[in-house]
């Protein structure tokens, strides 16, 4: 019985951690996109970890 409770708690923690990570990544992405647009640039997401902001001929890598 206690093993089943522990298993359910562990699954809950894993699900909440994944959900939190998704929210954090989405907030970071939206913040970078908003900052780029405020600077008058165009935002591009190159890969999961690389984002750039292009202002005319100037390219900024966002972190």
Give the range of the structural domain holding residue 57, as residue numbers without chain letter.
2-62
Distance CA(32)–CA(51), nearest Å, equals 8
- In the block, tokens 């093993």 appear at 3
46 neighbors 52 (Cβ within 8 angstroms): yes
The pLDDT-based confidence of 10 (bands split at 50, 70, 90) is very high
**Domain tally for the chain?**
1
pLDDT one-digit tens code per residue, 50-62: 889 998 888 888 7
- What is the pLDDT averaged over residues 43-49? 84
Please indicate, yes or no, whether the overall pTM of this predicted structure exceeds 0.85.
Answer: no
What value does the mean pLDDT of the chain take? Answer: 88
E strands present in 1-63: 42-45, 51-55, 58-62
């Amino acid at each position: 019985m206690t093993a089943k409770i522990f298993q359910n708690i562990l699954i809950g923690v894993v699900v909440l951690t994944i959900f939190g990570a998704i929210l954090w990544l989405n907030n970071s992405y939206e913040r970078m996109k908003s900052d780029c647009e405020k600077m008058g640039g165009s935002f591009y997401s190159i890969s999961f970890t690389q984002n750039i902001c292009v202002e005319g001929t100037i390219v900024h890598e966002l972190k």
